[in-house]
Amino acid sequence: MPTSPTLPSAPPGTSGTSRALTQALTPNLDRLLGRLGATLKRNIWLHGLGTTIAAAAAWLLFMYVADRMLKLPSAIRLIHLAVLVGGTVWLLRRALFQYSRRVPNRAGLAMLAQRALPDDVPHDDRFVSAIQLRQQIAADSPGAPLVQRVARDAEALVPRVDLGRVTDSRGPIGRVAAGLVAASVAVGALAYQPAMASIFGQRLFGQNVPWPRSTTLIIDVPEGNGGLDVQRPSVDVIRVRAARGSDVPIMVLAEGTVPEIVTLKFKSGAAIDLSPSGKDTFRTMLPSVQENIEVRAYGGDDQRGAQTIEIEVLQPPDLSSLAFVVEPPAYSGLPARTERDTAISVLAGSRVSVIARTDPENATGLARTFPNDEEIQLERVPFPVAEAASSGDDPPAAAVLGLGFTRTVAESIRFRFELTDDSGLSNPDPALFGIEVVPDRRPELITLEPGRAEIETIAGGAVPLRVLVRDDFGLGAFRYEIREVATDEVLRSMELPLAGAPEALEGQGRVVRSAGLASTLLEINGLRPEGPMEDGQVVTLQTFALDARRPEPNETRSAPVRLRVVSADEFLRRQRDGLGRTAEDVGQVDTRLSTTLTRMDEFTMAMDGDDAEAPAPGDITGLESDARRMQGDLMSVGRELSGLASSMVYARMDDRAGALESRLFELTSGSIERSFQPEIWETLSSEVASGQLGSPDRAGELVRLVGMALRAAGPESEGLLAALEKARTAAEAESPLNGTRTSLKEAVARARALRASIETLMNDLGEWDNMQAIISLTRDIANRQKNVLEKIRTGAESGK
């Protein structure tokens, strides 16, 4: 058996046997527990230091990046530093010192070492028993052999202990590695740009050392903006004095890296985002500023807002009232006037004084016209007294002065007042005023008679001339000219007086202040100074009208009218042709009336039978439409006949029609109407029929035919239409039969009377045509006899 080890001497105060048990029973176990305690302490230090270094390095890197990107204020930087220091101390205390104090004693280490034994060894806590029993059992006690056996068993198990099963150093080593990596990154980031690291260090300890910027913003107000007083008392301050309502432009210049957006922040809290308007320029306009403004620019990494634009809004000079004093040209006859509108209309050539009162009264300036951009210097002139009184200011005794200018206007202009006060402040966006010049237009010349562009008449006849002249401001002379067509020679030129025509001043669609009517009879034989006109000659008649404009009046010329002189036979043939066309028109009216009368008879018979039934209202409406068309056609017949009758009267082929000619000219010379006037011809027809105008032959017969046509188109057609309207109204009633029958029978009677008148007109037209044919034949026979007698006379003279 092996010899038992010699027990070392016991510590003072104990027996030698007890001391030997304490020191020499488990030397291997003691070394094992020492290694285990050292390993635990090492892992605690690795874990604590790794965690602290990693956290501190990461936070330091965050502080560096945040400060560089966001340019943190000093308060935030000091908070970050406090977090760094406080966090580091807290981590050291928690992850290092607190865990170090928790390392187990020898009994605890023995229990932990017991767990490191292989699984095939029973876990009976021999290590713990060996440690605890040897400290409690003396060597000379009866239990000492048992303690020694337990210690030997524990010592025997020590070589089988694998501390790796209870001490894993990979986590602490990984934590240290993480800390070293974090520290390396932080140190590398700082060492990459030492200057930046130096700035960071200074800022970290409270110094306001600025970071270098990739973007530098320079805010400015562009020069050359009228009405803005821009001052730069320092590099960082721009003061702008602007009139209320002015537009203030702002420009931001980006040096270095150009940001995508620049933000203008106002003292009120509002903000505007600007996009680039050029390569490195951002522009905007503050429209119509109304209050004081402070604005700074921020963008990219320039978040300083170092420069400030201070806008002071001032009350600008302005117009308090405006007056236009207008003196129209003397020839117009218009009175002088004063107006206060923003835009006025004046006659061309008027003298206009534009006078404005300003606020403040000592403001100066100029008037700028558009579109020619002319500058007119303003002068101090008296403001119109009535206007000054109406504005509620001092009485007229104290002359009120204003700024104004005077000019004679020939064309429309627009202008504005550009004012400046004694401080140099200008009025922004001045109002635009206008003077619209109304030109003195040429007189309006309307040829009422002759009504056609070409007139045919005979030598010895006359042509009525009736012209209406209208003008906006006054009429001058009126004349007519007769020219030879072949040579364009002026045969006659004569002025005619203009009679007033007040009824022509209204409803003309234009301003008309003066109207005149010229009427005369042009004697055909008096158109040529050399003598009477001959058959086949053609001249032109043209009229000219001047207005009262000065110094150069406006002139209007009418379209020339061709006057052609024909023989009496040719004139009569023209008359016969016209009457033939008129007779055809009357025949067509008679045919339509016959058809209408047949339909009316059919309706009447249908109401008289056993199965009496009233016609529908629509059927009677159709009859009314036919009657109205026939009335219009008859009125056209009357108009055509009146033209033929007028030509016959003024041709003077009827020796007994002198009174009729005078009466016709009397009735038409004062009329301003150009259209057909039935009342004149009804008056002539009645006077011819009553013998008041003598006993005209052919001309009187034509006038009588005109009267017949007008009576048919007038009272007789109106009677037929009234009866048909009554029949239609009765047909629309609940019991239409009796009323419709009565009214329709009345309409039939009136239609028959109208047809009788039309037939009479057709017969008279036929007789007049036959008479004209006989007269023409007689004239031909007389001419032939005259030619035979002339030949006989010539032969007799030659036989002698």
Q: What's the distance, CA 316 to chain centroid?
A: 30
Distance of CA 528 to the CA centre of its chain: 64
DSSP symbol at 560: P
CA 783 to chain centroid, in Å, comes to 81
The per-residue pLDDT for range 188-217, each reduced to its tens digit, is 888 888 888 888 888 888 788 877 778 888
Task: Judge whether 318-438 and 444-566 match in fold.
Answer: yes
Name the architecture of domain 318-438. Sandwich (2.60)
Structure tokens at 80: 């970050």
Residue 29, C-beta contacts closer than 8 angstroms, at least 6 positions apart: 110, 113, 127, 130, 131, 151, 154, 155, 158
> CA-CA distances (angstroms) from residue 635 to 316, 642, 761?
74, 10, 13
Angle CA 531–534–540, to nearest 5: 85
pTM of the complete model beyond 0.85: no
Residues forming a β-bridge with 370: 414
What beta strand segments (E) does 330-412 contain?
337-339, 343-347, 351-359, 364-370, 375-377, 379-382, 401-408
Residue 418: what pLDDT?
A: 87
Task: Return the higher-pLDDT residue of 608 and 307.
Answer: 307
Q: Can you tell me the distance from the alpha carbon of 8 to that of 16, in angstroms, rounded to the nearest whole number?
A: 8
* pLDDT at residue 324, rounded to an integer: 92
User: Which pLDDT score is estimated for 352?
Assistant: 93
Q: Which tens digit of pLDDT belongs to each residue from 48-72? A: 888 888 888 888 888 888 887 787 8
Q: How confident is the model at residue 22 (pLDDT cuts 50, 70, 90)?
A: very low
Identify the helix (H) or strand (E) that includes residue 776.
helix 736-799
Confidence grade of residue 77 (pLDDT, cut at 50, 70, 90):
confident
Arithmetic mean of pLDDT over the chain: 82
Question: Residue ranges per domain, the chain?
Answer: 16-188, 215-314, 318-438, 444-566, 570-786
**Nearest one of 484, 456, 614 to 541, comparing CA atoms:** 484
Record the tokens describing residue 633, joined without a space: 């056609």
Q: What is the CA radius of gyration of the chain?
A: 64
Residue 520's beta-bridge partner residues?
465
Does residue 555 carry a pLDDT above 80? yes
CATH superfamily of 444-566: Immunoglobulins (2.60.40.10)
Class of domain 215-314 (CATH, top level): mainly beta
Confidence of residue 29 (pLDDT cuts 50, 70, 90): confident
End-to-end CA distance of the chain: 219
